[in-house]
Each structure stands twice: as structure tokens, then as C-alpha cells.
Structure 1
Amino acid sequence: MAKFLIILLVIWLVSRYILPVVLRLVVGALVKKQAQKFGQQFGQNPFSQPPRPEPARPATAPGEVHVDYVPPQAEPDTREFKGGEYVDFEEVK
């Protein structure tokens, strides 16, 4: 009976503490391998950031200001707000 309990305890300890670490390493290696294979098929490295293209800027003289975007000007509202409709307040008890 004691031998059975010791074996059961060892199996529980292995499945509780050792098995998750081993599975994490194995699955992580498999995922990395598949991602690299996928990247090779499409000419990319899946673990690196894609290079960001820098916007082309025309050469400007020192001290010169260049504005990329000017927001559209809002047209002034010619109508003035005269007020809303009056609603009589009635307290409900």
C-alpha cells in the first residue's frame, strides 16, 4: 500500500510541476519553428518588426517651416441660437 501511495505521489508531483515546464518548452519551440517556416514561405521574418517607411520630406532651408497638414476651416454659423422651447415643469409625487 505504501509503495502505491509513493508512486501516486511521484506521478502527481511530475504532472504538477515538471510536465508544464516541459510542455511549455516543447510547444514554444514548435510554434517558433512553424512561424519561421511560414515566414520563409512568404519572405518575412515573423519575429522582427517590419521596417517602417520614412515619409519623404523635401529639402528645406534651415529655419524654414514646412506644414504637412492644414485642417479645413469651419465656416462660421450665421444663425444665432435664440433658445429652446419652454417646457413647464410639473413635480410628480
Structure 2
Amino acid sequence: MLATFGLQRLESGLDSETFSATDVAEFLEQARADDVRTLVREGMPEALDGMHRRLQERVYELEIAKLYIADDEWSNLPTPRYADNVANTEFQQSPHANRV
């Protein structure tokens, strides 16, 4: 009888961390190597949280990148769009033109 209560307690702990088939399918479609490593070491809840956090960071980075793309009134011309590169700290613009 004591074993029955022990197993019931063990099963109730396992039932609280159940995942649907869609959660598992989403994880398998979008997981990277570090997500699988997290799954093996820490379990499915932490692996899903890490994957969702990584995907949200990527969406946020894309939204920030859209802010730096210069948009003008001639956007229908076949020229490439200019993206302002604010991350290039090694190049510093000269204050005047070099007429060499």
C-alpha cells in the first residue's frame, strides 16, 4: 500500500509537466543544437523556454533593423536599398572631402 501511494505521488509529479504534440513538433522544427543540449540536460520546459526566448530576440532584432533602412520616395527604382550601418565603429567619416 505504501508503494501505491509512492507511485501515485510520482505520477502526479509527472502529469504536471505534460506537453502536447504540437509543442514537441514545434520544438523539433525550430530547435538548434543548443536547444537539444538544454533538452537533454534540463528537460523539456527549459528547452521550450530557451527556444521561445531565442525566437523573440530574433524578431526584436529584425524590428530594430527595419528602423535603420532609409526609405525614400523613389523606392520603385531598380536600385538597392541603403541600410545605414550604425554598428561600424572602425570607420570614422572625415569632416571634409579629400581632394587627392
TM-score of the superposed pair, with normalisation by structure 2:
0.34
TM-score of the superposed pair, with normalisation by structure 1:
0.36
State the structure with more CA Rg. Answer: 1
Could you say which structure has the greater relative contact order, defined with CA pairs below 8 angstroms and 6 or more residues apart? 2
